[in-house]
Structure 1
């Protein structure tokens, strides 16, 4: 029999489970507490066990109305983590038990972002699994020479040119440059015409540093003492994964290619420290067809499928929130949950739609 429970971020069981399961930074209680500011809800985890196998999924609980709420993974790849040798039968049994518990507590829907690396082999018949696009990673067990050969010739030329011009990269361990990074990130997202969900409450950044600073590295590119670009990486030391989290560049210095120089520096740094993978992520919104994905693809041939899992927890309430349209239950591949689409569309009206030239997206 599967036992299901909710865990608060302060729960000792959560911290103990992380010692037994492969995980990324998105699964850390402190990271989840910071994510309350980015995802607009309360951080929790749902936990299931049959006494042998274990499954934990971080969630952000977002209020829908006075009666109900929905669950979503934190921004990033906070998919399920589980004990070794966990069977697909247990996974489905555990998820069904979790869905039953969620329904009893007023949950309407559940949106899970599966981790492209840790959940690469994830299979489940609960809800629907949707392929969102591709992500790119760099195998850090390769040599410096192999990495350089795998780098697109245009990237190599731009990096060499920038370094000769005096561009340098350092790690800001004290996060002194955090305010500048926040400004550059927001400016970059506006140039890209990013959706509102990519713009964060400033408290999110400070909470990340306070709660998960040991798992963050802020790489800063400078020319003549001026910051021209910066990238915030997460580092999951035990899993051996360093990962792009957020990136910002100064438009005035696109000709210095700070994002490319930083990517090269991070690759060298991760390799020198024995990490296994530098996960660059995918394109804007998970797309594998835009120029941001193409930029990342210029550093490595290794790609992964980014998937999400969508579960309608309470079908009757879900349909009611969608104005009685029962067809939403048969097509979960579009915007999910469908009842939040109107809210997202209204927010999108206030965001620039023109995709300006960006150094981070240049070919």
Structure 2
């Protein structure tokens, strides 16, 4: 049986080759994004059979006060990728991938693994029957294959009105080109996260933003909304494999009622059309329903939904249960892994 390969960040060329030769991948899989991870050690698991392979990026973490480890995925939409279409991956390769991932986990004392999956590429298909794949919520995307006027017709009526009003009131959108503009966006983003009481994992260092925006693995663009030369809002977008992702965004408090982010998203859509992309993926909200304000905001731009799934896998049930018992965690909760709840 072909053994699984473990690619580390130090093997940068090999990591990059595997990702860029894959059919469906996003910036979440790239070396440049994974190297920003601070929670643990990023590795790429690669299972090959003949000329085909499946690759899975994960972050290995120590479990506090134990001799065991677990793993998770980077923030965003990761999961397995392959150099062939997912529906053409052979059962032999899938079985080999599943069996060897389990063997690696047991050898490395990895108790459990959690991964966010990619809603557009539907890579959950390569994990069917291997642990649990759970539908969490829906995400929103603008279909850039539609004619531009049809795309805009799908906007909520109030969005069309407010975008026109922003333009009349001299708001415009530019792409950031200077470090001063990046620094101001970082401040706006951080202030926004504080204002909405975001959790710690939504805060990033200045080095994170610069490494992200100036990386060599994928295209990243910072779009800024300005009024009278004042930056009012900004958002980072990525362009990878025909998909534009809406990544991080913030608005100055004094301009929040003007909602300049709506103009930024409209301009990002037009940019995506110019670049001949398939989708501008806006992502989801907290709950993926109309009761969720973030989801409702994004749904005002499109009626196209994708189903967002996560993967949960326990490789050693006995150790997992012991850890939950030691940590005295409520087993009725939906958090995974429970011992980190």
Distance apart, 1:285 and its partner CA: 6.5
For residues 139 and 170 of structure 2, the distance between their equivalents in structure 1, rounded to whole angstroms, comes to 31
In structure 1, the partner of 2:57 is 58
Distance apart, 1:201 and its partner CA: 3.6
Alignment of 1:332-351 (within 5 A): 334-341=334-341
Q: CA RMSD in A?
A: 2.3
Deviations 1:144-184 (A, max 9, x none): 21111111100000000011000010111445422222222
- Cα 1:114–1:92 change in 2 (3 A) is farther
User: TM-score scaled by structure 1?
Assistant: 0.85
- Cα 1:269–1:172 change in 2 (3 A) is same
Contact 2:213 2:221 in 1 (8 A): no
In structure 2, the partner of 1:111 is 114
Deviations 1:83-136 (A, max 9, x none): 212135633441231122122112121111110111266251111111110000
Structure 2, unmatched stretches of 5+, are: none
For residues 217 and 82 of structure 2, the distance between their equivalents in structure 1, rounded to whole angstroms, comes to 25
For residues 83 and 9 of structure 2, the distance between their equivalents in structure 1, rounded to whole angstroms, comes to 19
Contact 2:133 2:311 in 1 (8 A): yes
In structure 2, the partner of 1:67 is 67
Deviations 1:287-323 (A, max 9, x none): 6640111111111111001000001122222222212
Deviations 1:207-244 (A, max 9, x none): 323435751000000111111100011110xx201101
Contact 2:79 2:117 in 1 (8 A): yes
In structure 2, the partner of 1:264 is 266
Picking from 235, 239, 242, the partner of 1:240 is 242
In structure 2, the partner of 1:7 is 7
Alignment of 1:266-281 (within 5 A): 266-281=268-283
Structure 1, unmatched stretches of 5+, are: 342-363
In structure 2, the partner of 1:20 is 21
Contact 1:91 1:124 in 2 (8 A): no
3-state secondary structure, aligned to 1:322: helix
Contact 1:175 1:218 in 2 (8 A): no
In structure 1, the partner of 2:34 is 32
- Cα 1:176–1:287 change in 2 (3 A) is farther
For residues 266 and 133 of structure 1, the distance between their equivalents in structure 2, rounded to whole angstroms, comes to 24
Contact 2:30 2:217 in 1 (8 A): no
In structure 2, the partner of 1:208 is 212
3-state secondary structure, aligned to 2:4: strand
For residues 175 and 116 of structure 1, the distance between their equivalents in structure 2, rounded to whole angstroms, comes to 33
Distance apart, 1:197 and its partner CA: 2.1
